[in-house]
């Protein structure tokens, strides 16, 4: 039996919109039928590349075609606005990270989503990476024992020209912040997905290597999770020439390292294994064995700090969204899940401003 494809429109054809377009075009279950952007040349170029219609606004796109879903790829401070318009028009929505730049906007969007009953997915494509799935499964099964600590390190480089390339970049109003909310939000989401909710943060942030922007290019934070585990975040766009992104998880029975979306280290103690009093010198790296279960190598070229590799990563999440719409279930990363890293980031910003610890409220 042939299943009708989910018909997508994309709002925002700048940097991230083309990745959504390629991801949708790579799925048999989806079809890109239209794009929209306030800059006509961007919309026309993307439409020509994918053989679809183009419009100057979301309103025009919604009235001009019968769409099932809209991908919101506008500047961060316009995410909730576009998503709400699409929801109220009866469309399901995929919204780029972050949900928006404020918790107030995120909560307003959640209210509209509940009122309309539509499906909304927030992009966190690296939850679908095989390495992340493997570590999440191990933690769910208790293979690492009592979780003790974790960290997310995003040490990237963005040139001054990156911030100068758009008037909205590096502004609180439309960018929502700097390295934390733009470059590190995916890693912060993954750390919480693996370790549980963050309940308290203490942080510092600064603008150290760029000019003419309002926001931080470097931030560090200490985290306390709901289960008592401790953690750290380092987020920077001032680490030339740009290093890999690393997620580290430790327990009293095992540890894992995800480096640029690949499982570079994994070790879980076998049942009854006590281990040496001073550790096992790192222990046998079981990453290759673990990843064989997922049909992938343990290491290889990851997405890392290169935005050009995002399209394939988006594909699995959009496929999950399509299946969620078809099956009448919630997508893996729904609005409530998407709100959680935003709440942590806002807490980090508040701590950096006030100089003290900040509680994170659900």
Q: Say whether the peptide bond before residue 169 is cis (omega within 30 degrees of 0).
A: no
Q: What tokens does 222 get?
A: 């200490």
Question: For residues 301, 303, 307 and 311, what is the CA-based torsion angle, rounded to 10 degrees?
Answer: 100
Q: Is 220 helix (H, G, I), strand (E, B) or coil?
A: strand
**pLDDT given at position 303:** 43
Helix 17-25 and helix 40-50, axial crossing angle in degrees, nearest 10: 20
Q: Is 250 helix (H, G, I), strand (E, B) or coil?
A: strand
Distance CA 32, CA 43 (A): 13
For 109-121, give one letter per residue: b (16+ CB within 10 A) or e.
bbebbeebebbbb
For 310-333, give one letter per residue: b (16+ CB within 10 A) or e.
bbebbbbbbbbbbebbeeeeebbb
* Residues 41-59: tens digit of each pLDDT: 999 999 999 999 999 999 9
**Topology classification of domain 127-304+343-354:** Dihydrodipicolinate Reductase; domain 2 (3.30.360)
Q: In this structure, how many other beta carbons lie within 10 angstroms of the beta carbon of residue 136?
A: 16
Q: Which residues of the chain have pLDDT under 70?
A: 1-3, 272, 274-282, 295-311
Q: What tokens does 202 get?
A: 């203490």
Q: What tokens does 50 get?
A: 């994918």
Left (φ > 0), alpha (ψ -120 to 50) or beta: where does 276 sit? beta
Q: What tokens does 330 get?
A: 């919630």
Helix 310-327 and helix 17-25, axial crossing angle in degrees, nearest 10: 60
**Topology classification of domain 6-118:** Rossmann fold (3.40.50)
Give the start-to-end residue ranges of the domains of the chain: 6-118, 127-304+343-354
How many residues does the structure list for the chain?
362
Query: What backbone phi and psi angles, to 5 degrees, belong to 84?
Result: -65, -45
**pLDDT given at position 272:** 66
Contact, 110 vs 335, CB < 8 A?
A: yes
Q: Say whether the peptide bond before residue 98 is cis (omega within 30 degrees of 0).
A: yes
Distance CA 56, CA 44 (A): 9
DSSP structure class, residue 5: P
Contact, 50 vs 78, CB < 8 A?
A: no
Contact, 204 vs 159, CB < 8 A?
A: no
> Does the CA dihedral 164-165-171-175 come out positive or negative?
negative
Tokens 């209210």 found at: 111
Q: In what order do the strands lie in the sheet with 245-251?
A: 262-268, 254-259, 245-251, 147-155, 230-236, 218-225, 198-206, 358-359
**pLDDT given at position 121:** 99
């Amino acid at each position: 039996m042939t299943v009708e494809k989910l018909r997508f429109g994309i709002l925002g054809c700048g940097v991230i919109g083309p990745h959504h377009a390629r991801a949708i075009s790579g799925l048999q279950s989806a079809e890109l039928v239209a794009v929209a952007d306030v800059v006509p040349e961007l919309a026309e170029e993307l439409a020509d590349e994918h053989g679809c219609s183009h419009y100057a606004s979301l309103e025009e796109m919604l009235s001009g075609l019968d769409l099932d879903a809209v991908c919101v790829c506008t500047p961060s401070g316009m995410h909730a606005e576009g998503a709400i318009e699409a929801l109220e028009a009866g469309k399901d929505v995929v919204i780029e990270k972050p949900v928006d730049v404020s918790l107030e906007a995120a909560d307003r969007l959640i209210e509209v989503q509940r009122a309309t009953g539509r499906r909304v997915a927030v992009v966190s494509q690296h939850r679908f990476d095989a390495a992340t799935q493997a570590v999440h499964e191990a933690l769910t099964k208790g293979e690492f024992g009592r979780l003790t600590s974790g960290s997310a390190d995003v040490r990237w480089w963005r040139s001054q020209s990156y911030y100068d390339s758009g008037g909205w970049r590096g502004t609180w109003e439309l960018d929502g912040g700097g390295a934390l909310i733009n470059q590190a939000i995916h890693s912060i989401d993954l750390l919480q997905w693996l370790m549980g909710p963050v309940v308290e943060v203490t942080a510092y942030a600064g603008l150290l290597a760029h000019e003419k922007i309002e926001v931080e290019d470097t931030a560090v934070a200490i985290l306390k999770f709901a289960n008592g585990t401790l953690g750290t975040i380092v987020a920077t766009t001032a680490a030339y020439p740009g290093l890999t992104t690393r997620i580290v998880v430790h327990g009293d029975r095992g540890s894992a390292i995800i480096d640029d979306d690949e499982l570079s280290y994994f070790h879980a103690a076998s049942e009854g294994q006590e281990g040496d009093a001073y550790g096992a010198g790192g222990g046998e790296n079981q990453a290759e064995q673990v990843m064989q279960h997922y049909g992938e190598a343990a290491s290889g070229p990851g997405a890392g700090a290169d935005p050009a590799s995002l399209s394939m990563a988006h594909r699995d999440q959009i496929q999950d969204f399509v299946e969620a719409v078809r099956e009448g279930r919630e997508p893996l990363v729904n609005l409530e899940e998407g709100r959680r890293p935003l709440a942590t980031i806002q807490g980090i910003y508040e701590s950096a401003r006030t100089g003290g610890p900040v509680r994170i409220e659900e």
